[in-house]
A and B are shown apart, each in its own frame.
Chain A
Amino acid sequence: MLKNKTTLGFLSVAIFVILLVHVLVDQGILNSFWYTILRIGAVMTIVSLGLNLIYGINGQFSLGQWGFYAIGAYAAADVTYRWSQLHSASGLVILLLVLLFVGGFYLIIGRVLSKIRGLDSLSAFAIYLAGTILAAILAIALGKILIDPVTAMLTYLPANIAMQLVFLLAILLAGILAAEVSYLLGLPVLTLGSDYFGIATLGFTIIVKVLLDNSDTLLGFAEMKGARGMVGIPKLSSWLWVASFVLIIVVLTRNLLQSSHGRAIISVREDEIAAKAMGIDIASQKTITFVIGSLFAGLAGGLYAHVNGFLHPNTFNFIKSFDPMIIIVFGGLGSITGTVVASFTWALVLEGFLRLFLPEGFETWRFVVYPLLLLIMMLLRPQGLFGTYEFPFLQQILPPALKLKANNMHTTEAETASSNSNESTSSTGGAS
């Protein structure tokens, strides 16, 4: 009963806040400056939640989150750009097919390879990579046939609905793309110890940034315009879209963490060797967490691309990849509540208040004030703003204590033998 009450309370408060902001923006009380900042805060929440899963909860120090964010942003932007500017569903169709084929291939290969004992991660990676390329070529060939019929089908829909549909699909596909890339990257990289893993993922972020700098020449996506920055992306990420994504992701993350799978993920952070000895496949737990975290980054990237309608590779510079890391440490490693609050605080303070309240010409000083705030924070409260605290809905509820009929622990040996055998027959009857 109590649980249902807190769930209801949490959801109604969350929906009320979301609608309140929506109305405030609608009525012009919040100007477009604050509107953008709030949406950036929400996007940041999603990225940081993903990173908190990987680092705060699974214990893998990753700097690759920003790379997946970039991949998501450009993938989603490409899809909606092609639809809104070029009136073609080519981006949507090809991306969808590639992800389907590659995903299906991963599932099949995963099954097959799991039967082989002692396969080293690099050969597994090579098999996956070859399969990915093959599946992608097949998907593109098939996609070229399907582009025209799908475009025609979508144009039957009212323009507005078609646009929103393409947008939603683009965001989801961006997330899945990031997830599949992270799966592939994770195969060799997740076998590394924590610090090495951090460096390897940092390398990934840098590679993505360089690729995006040359996206028009090297990769051949002319519409991305490489280092000149991509313009003309429809500005579709309304507050309602972004906030709904945040709400859904927070609830789903909480559900995941409060299950056996969540506990398995946490056990890897707590003690890898003990987790292994408890029958937990730590390699797969790490992979799953990395993939889910990257999925969040991809979704957030897709949403971000449609906030300003403009993307530039410099946004995805590796220096910026520390932003989500700072947010989760600031909010409290492993705390969902902390991540949400810290993300909005980060956006409001760094982009909002500091920019507005510092005197004219002192905007640059915000990068002095902000690290100072962090320093003070770390000295006074090293466990982060919230530590491990969670809002009631996000908290784990302890089941009511067991009422004992008899003391089960042995008293003397002779007694225990008989009483315990009785006890065990009755208890297993209920449990199995």
Chain B
Amino acid sequence: MTDIVNTTSPSPVETMNSKSKVLEITKLNKSFGGLRAVKEFDMNINKGELMGLIGPNGAGKTTVFNLITGIYELTSGNIVFNDTNLIGMLPHQITQLGIARTFQNIRLFPNLTVLDNVRIAYHAHAGYGMMDAILRTPKFLENEKMLTEKTQEFLSVFNLHDRQGEIARNLPYGEQRRLEIARALAADPQLLLLDEPAAGMNPNEVVSLMDLIHFIRERFNLTILLIEHQMRVVMGICERITVMDFGEIIARGTPDEIQANPKVIEAYLGRGAAALAQKLSEKRTNVA
């Protein structure tokens, strides 16, 4: 469990063929009072896959994330992660099972150092009890040293090692994003949920973010579910895409299929644009 990296697992390509399901969501519903934020949502994510979840603002994408991670209680439906039913579990238990996430508006621990931000993610594996900590037993000193070294090594993977003493809120935006992803990965997840990681980034930062996502996916042998508005990112790195609108799934498929899907274009740009796109695609022109 405590290993950051599992080097023995097969590469993502191999596992994708074997089709072992990491996450299985069936008939998920969530209502806020009279508003049905998520309706009959179904989704399967295979091991090693990079799945995109897109849709216009207010489509219910983040709600799905909050349901998976247990922040919201679902109204009905089932979420199964690696054969474990997540219904009724508390958020921290779900994280300890192996689902980590980042947030749309970065949620670091703003007044703590970069080092502490990541060290907190190791809390469940600290290896000593509160009594050890209070009395400074050898067990505490040994484990704390190990934990710190592990964190430092981990930070160096993300090029944040020379920032370890910096207070998190003083970091530039791009590094805050990187730190948030690093912190999520320190919790040792199998499934990583990224909520609009490219929000507010300039084109250069977006390119390095895409590299980063590729890199962590291979290095940490991850399955990734990604919410994103920047089509460049979604179309560039996702293998499969699910499109939501008004809480419902309106399309699924590969990036190419999604780009050509009139329903998706309608949801994003309106009916007129969809009709235009239809015409254009008939002329075999690339719309997106």
Interfacial residues, chain A to chain B (CB-CB below 8 A): 117-118, 252, 255-256, 259-264, 266-267, 270-271, 273-283, 288, 388, 398-399, 401-402, 404, 407-410, 413, 416-417, 420-421, 424-425, 427-428, 430-432
Q: In the complex, which residues of chain B have a beta carbon less than 8 angstroms from the beta carbon of A279?
A: 92, 95-96, 121, 123-124, 187
Please give, as numbers and ranges, the residues of chain B lying within 8 Å of A388 by CB-CB distance.
111
Please name 20 pairs of A and B residues whose Cβ atoms are closer than 8 Å in the assembled complex, sorted by A: A117-B88, A256-B134, A259-B134, A261-B130, A263-B116, A263-B120, A266-B116, A267-B120, A270-B110, A273-B103, A276-B70, A276-B90, A278-B120, A280-B120, A399-B152, A409-B158, A409-B159, A416-B219, A420-B219, A424-B219
Q: Give 6 A-B pairs besides A276-B95, A277-B69, A425-B7 with Cβ atoms closer than 8 angstroms.
A: A259-B134, A277-B103, A401-B164, A416-B219, A431-B153, A432-B2
A270 near B159 with CB under 8 A, answer no
Q: How far is the CA of A255 from the CA of B141 in the complex (A)?
A: 11
- Complexed CA–CA distance, A431 and B122 (Å): 12
Q: Does B165 contact A (CB under 8 A)?
A: yes
| B71 interface hit (Cβ, 8 Å) | yes
Q: B119 on the interface (CB 8 Å rule)? A: yes
Contacts of B218 in A (CB 8 A): 416-417, 420
Contact of B156 among A270, A280, A408, A428 (CB under 8 A): A408
Q: Which of B35-74 contact A (CB under 8 A)?
A: 69-71
Q: Which residue of chain B has the shortest Cβ distance to A420 in the bound complex?
A: B219
CB distance from B194 to the nearest CB of A (A): 12
Q: How far is the CA of A407 from the CA of B161 in the complex (A)?
A: 11
Docked pose: A220 CA to B112 CA in angstroms: 50
> Which A residues touch B116, using CB under 8 A?
263, 266
- Stretch of B143-151, B223-231, B247-255, B262-270 on the interface side: B143-151
Closest 3 CB pairs of A and B: A259-B133, A270-B109, A260-B126
Instruction: Decide: B136 and A266 in contact? CB cutoff 8 A.
Output: no
Q: What is the distance, in angstroms, from A376's C-beta to the closest C-beta of chain B?
A: 26
Complex CA gap A407/B157 in Å reads: 8
Interface residues of B in 76-119 (CB under 8 A from A): 88-92, 95-96, 100-101, 103, 107-113, 115-116, 119
**A197 to B: closest C-beta gap in Å:** 19
Pick the contact of A263: B108, B123, B150 (CB < 8 A).
B123
Taking the closest CB of chain A, its distance from the CB of B219, in whole angstroms, is 5
B130 touches A256 (CB 8 A): yes
Q: With the chains together, A54 CA to B158 CA distance in Å?
A: 34
| Residues of chain A lying within 8 A (CB to CB) of residue B3 | 428, 431-432
B211 at the binding interface (Cβ < 8 Å): yes
Decide: A267 near B4, CB < 8 A? Known: A255-B134, A278-B121. no
Chain B residues near A117: list those with CB within 8 A.
88-89
Give Cα A398 to B165, complex, Å: 7
Whole-angstrom CA separation of A213 from B125 in the bound complex:
48
Question: B187, A278: Cβ atoms under 8 Å?
Answer: yes
Inter-subunit contact A277/B120 (CB<8 Å)? no
How far is A263 from B183 in the complex, measured between Cα atoms in Å?
Answer: 14
* Interface of B (DSSP majority class): helix
Q: Is the CB of A280 within 8 A of B2?
A: no
Interchain CA distance A387-B89 in the complex, whole Å: 38
How far apart are the CA atoms of A402 and B160 in the complex, in Å?
A: 11
B149 contacts across to A, CB distance below 8 A: 399, 402, 430-431
Asked if A274 contacts B108 (CB within 8 A), the reply is yes
User: Would you call B232 an interface residue if the criterion is a C-beta within 8 Å of the partner chain's C-beta atoms?
Assistant: no
Q: Is the CB of A428 within 8 A of B4?
A: yes
Best-surrounded residue of B101, B156, B162, B219 (most CB of chain A within 10 A): B156
Q: B133 near A275 (CB under 8 angstroms)?
A: no
With the chains together, A283 CA to B93 CA distance in Å?
12
Instruction: With both chains docked as a complex, state the minimum distance between the C-beta of A413 and any C-beta of chain B, in angstroms.
Output: 7
**What's the nearest-Cβ distance from chain A to residue B195, in Å?**
11
Question: Quick one: which of A259, A274, A281 contacts B144, CB cutoff 8 A?
Answer: A259
Among B91, B140, B159, B184, find the residue whose CB has the most chain A CB atoms closer than 10 A.
Answer: B91
- Taking a contact as CB atoms under 8 Å apart, the answer to whether A431 and B150 are in contact is yes
B146 to chain A, nearest CB (A): 7
Q: Is there a chain A Cβ closer than 8 Å to B5's Cβ?
A: yes
Q: A263-B119, A401-B164, A424-B7 are in contact. Are A277 and B211 (CB under 8 A)?
A: no
Whether A275 pairs with B120 at a CB distance below 8 angstroms is yes
B84: min CB distance to chain A, Å: 12
B173 at interface by CB-CB < 8 Å: no
Distance in Å from the Cβ of B33 to the closest Cβ of chain A?
A: 20
Q: Please tell me if the beta carbons of B159 and A277 are within 8 angstroms of each other in the complex.
A: no
Is the beta-carbon distance between A273 and B121 smaller than 8 angstroms? no
* B213 CB to nearest chain A CB (Å): 11
- Chain B residue nearest to A256 (CB atoms) is B134
Q: How far is the CA of A256 from the CA of B129 in the complex (A)?
A: 10
A277 and B91 within 8 A (CB): yes
Rounded to whole Å, the gap between the CB of A381 and the closest CB of chain B is: 18
Shortest CB–CB separation between residue B95 and chain A, in angstroms? Answer: 4
A283: chain B residues at CB < 8 Å are: 90
Is B214 located at the chain interface by the 8 A CB criterion?
yes
Give the complex CA separation of A117 and B100 in angstroms: 21
Distance in angstroms between the alpha carbons of A424 and B185 in the assembled complex: 14
B130 contacts A288, C-beta separation under 8 Å: yes
Interface pair A260/B147, CB less than 8 Å apart? yes
CB–CB B157/A409 < 8 A: yes
Question: In the assembled complex, how far is the CB of residue A121 from the closest CB belonging to chain B, in whole angstroms?
Answer: 13
Task: Check B157–A428 contact: CB distance below 8 A.
Answer: no
Report whether B109 and A256 are in contact in the complex, using a CB–CB cutoff of 8 Å.
no
Residues of B within 8 A of A263 (CB): 112, 116, 119-120, 123
In the complex, the answer to whether A270 meets B115 with C-beta atoms within 8 Å is no
The reply to whether B110 and A260 form a contact with Cβ atoms under 8 Å apart is: no
B133 touches A413 (CB 8 A): no
B165: which A residues are within 8 A, CB to CB? 398
